[in-house]
Amino acid sequence: MNQQTRQLQYFFFGQHFSDGVRTTVAILLPALLLAQLGHFEIGLTISTGAVCVSVTDTPGPLTHRRNGMLAALALVVLTALLTSVAAVNVWLLGAEISVLSFLLTMFLVWGARAGAVGTAGLLNVVLLLAHPPTLDQALLHAGLLLLGGLWYAGLALVAYQMRPYRPAQQALGECIHELARFLELKARFYDPATALTDDYRRLVAQQVVVNEKQEATRDFLFRTRQIVNETTSTGRRLVLTFVETVDLYERITVSYYDYNTLRAAFGASEILQEVAALIQHIATELDHLGVAIQANRPYEGPWPDLTAEWGRLQVRISTLEADPAADGNTRVLKKILVNLRDIIRRVGNIRRYFDESLTADAPAPSRATDHAQFVAHQEIELHALSQNFTLKSSVFRHSVRMMLACLVAFAVAQSLWHGEHNYWILMTVTIMLKPGFSLTRQRNTERIVGTLAGGALGAVILWLVPWSEVRFVALVVFMVVAYSFQRTQYLVTVVFLTAYLLIMFSFLGLNYIGVAEERIADTLIGCAIAFAAGYFLFPNWESDQLTDYLAAALRANLVYLHQLAHRLAGRPLPPNEYRLLRKAVYVSGANLAAAFQRMLTEPRSKQHRPIETHEFVVLNHILSSNIAALTDTLREAAPAVPPFPPEGRRALTSALAALQKSLVRIAPTTAEPAPELGPAEPTVPVAAEDKSLLEQLAFLQKVSGDIGRVTEVLVR
């Protein structure tokens, strides 16, 4: 199976495609059926209710999705009634739009799903502007919207009840797919032909994606009681496979080496290319597993003998060691071999997902109470809203920005543009304007390019295809594609959304060229308003928030390094406590890398020392990888903990002090006192085999010092 085939399988068996099909059916079916009965307007209103509720149906546990859709239903009915009353006067309508755009955007204080509920309410208000119902039609119109929302929610919940494990399987498959991509990028470090700077840039970017997928999968599994509390085979396999995947990610992450030295010592022998080839093969098989898990089908074909391939590499390294002409110590190659052996073993454990005997002999996963500590909790508390009524709150600033931008868009649509669909200007603003300028800018670019491309695509279809049946098939396909990519590739969504709208309006008897011109003009006006609002109204630059991400990464690595000191001193750490520390390090590192990537999309004048920030991101990744590597070595050596000689203690103390000093520089008001190491152990002579421990501790000291040097430049 080649990579293109795997990508297609991931798409068609993935959650986003199934969501796209469901959304298309929920929106299209009411309008089609009622159009056949001569009540197209009623069907369109029902479909509008389904559109609004679908906004809140983001991936997550069933209870969260259900509660979000119910809240959206209530809000859609309420906003429909309010808009019917306000529509009697243009000034009253403008006031309603101002107030609702502010209040509904403030829902973001309760998290992303609550923010989606607010977006659903605001979207309903904007769509109602096309043909505002009169007062005597208000209740009927609100009832039809409610019916459409209930239709979508019922369809989504029935689909879940019929196949309750599919969302978790799809999320787990995507998680493994991105982990395989991460492993492929690790293979490039062993290829002397690649640039290490580019390798690190890609790896850190992929780390962000892997972290997002792991968080999404963790949410599915550990918040769904049907999975974590039951003893059936499927639920047990899902949890065990995910736990093994997280451990595999740690094993891949800890495989850090001085790649410059490796290339200099072994580049001519071509042994590194063989290492890269084996890693690439492991990644490919891991990707095959991800496809099979996502599709919920058996693994196709015989399982390759990765162990035999590993054995051939071992012989090759032994031959290289025996060669007097070999340049460099092969000890590091042996460490790579050990690490690869463990990676192969863990991939084999994931393969056991397909072993039917797992039902009988696998240990049951711990209960939801144990897993609950690994997922973030967001409570809906009213006082959180009042606490954010301050300019110090980024959500409040964004809400004010949204309110002013929507008011300007409404005024422009009413006074300067008199097209039939001038509400598109306001809709563009509500969709384009994001809390951060970098995302607003990206969305604006994608919206403009996608609208132009989608307009051209729709016009070509309408020009070249005169048959109504073929046009309808194209409309359905375009809808499915648009809604399948709405949470992953916004540009693709805009292209196919614009094309299917043009085809739909052609069925309604409208001039598609005029509709295309109007949509392009409205898009350009709306994007200009959103861009200006994001740039001039309380702009939210990533560089202003970067300090928080830097401090969080330093704080997490400080705690992580301190647990290593405890291990070296012979004090054990409970497994769950260690996993929580590890999760904090990965999440903080991914958040920092994501913030840095967003900063690079902002104007150069607003970027704060991008070169030094990139160096900090890479050093932070190297530091956490090496701490994890040492911790893993100590775990394997338990209970015979290696001695903690004075040289190692000094290196570790120096590393802790350097990180603490960096944290104080970055966040002087929130930095806590540096943790103290325990009392010194009796001096033990360092054996030859323990010198690698001292070398690793010295390397941690060096990296911590480098972080301190970069931090000093960043705070200037």
Q: What is the DSSP string of 35-68?
A: HHTT-HHHHHHHHHHHHHHHTT--SS-HHHHHHH
| Gap between the Cα atoms of 270 and 261, Å rounded | 14
Do the Cβ atoms of 506 and 35 come closer than 8 Å?
no
| Gap between the Cα atoms of 106 and 395, Å rounded | 6
Element (H, E) at 452: helix 437-464
| Gap between the Cα atoms of 629 and 631, Å rounded | 5
Q: How many CB atoms lie within 10 A of CB 550?
A: 28
For residue 570, which of 680, 484, 710 has the smallest C-alpha distance? 680
Calculate Rg over the CA atoms of the chain: 28
For residue 27, which of 480, 508, 450, 505 has the smallest C-alpha distance? 480
Residue 291: which residues within 8 A CB-CB, separation 6 or more? Answer: 1, 6, 9, 10, 13, 173, 177
pLDDT value, residue 685? 46
Do the Cβ atoms of 529 and 537 come closer than 8 Å?
no
Which amino acid, residue 28?
A: L
pLDDT value, residue 659? 92
Q: Region 19-24: what's the mean pLDDT?
A: 93
Do the Cβ atoms of 420 and 411 come closer than 8 Å?
no
Beta strands in 300-400 (DSSP E): none
Give residue for tokens 């941690």.
700
Dump pLDDT digits (tens) for 185-237. 999 999 888 998 889 889 988 988 998 899 888 888 877 665 656 556 777 78
166-366: CATH architecture: Up-down Bundle (1.20)
pLDDT band at 97 (very low <50, low <70, confident <90, very high): very high
For residue 278, which of 337, 200, 330 has the smallest C-alpha distance? 337
What predicted TM-score, i.e. pTM, was given to this entire model?
A: 0.85
Residue 646 in tokens: 């004075």
For residue 590, which of 263, 210, 267 has the smallest C-alpha distance? 210
- The pLDDT of residue 535 is above 80: yes
| 226 or 461, greater pLDDT | 461
DSSP string, 169-221: HHHHHHHHHHHHHHHHHHHHTT-TTS-HHHHHHHHHHHHHHHHHHHHHHHHHH
Kindly list the domain boundaries of the chain, sorted by start residue. Answer: 13-162, 166-366, 393-533, 542-714
30 prior amide bond cis, ω within 30: no
pLDDT value, residue 686? 45
Dump pLDDT digits (tens) for 62-89. 888 899 999 999 999 999 999 999 988 9
pLDDT value, residue 369? 45
| Gap between the Cα atoms of 464 and 470, Å rounded | 11
Question: Minimum mean pLDDT among 307-321, 618-632, 663-677: which range?
Answer: 663-677
Instruction: Give one word for 671, left, alpha or beta, with left for phi > 0 and alpha for psi -120 to 50.
Output: beta
Instruction: Give one word for 662, left, alpha or beta, with left for phi > 0 and alpha for psi -120 to 50.
Output: alpha
- Rounded (10°) CA dihedral 82, 87, 88, 94: 100
Residue 114 in tokens: 């609550």
pLDDT value, residue 681? 46
For residue 189, which of 621, 535, 579, 531 has the smallest C-alpha distance? 621
DSSP state of 258: -
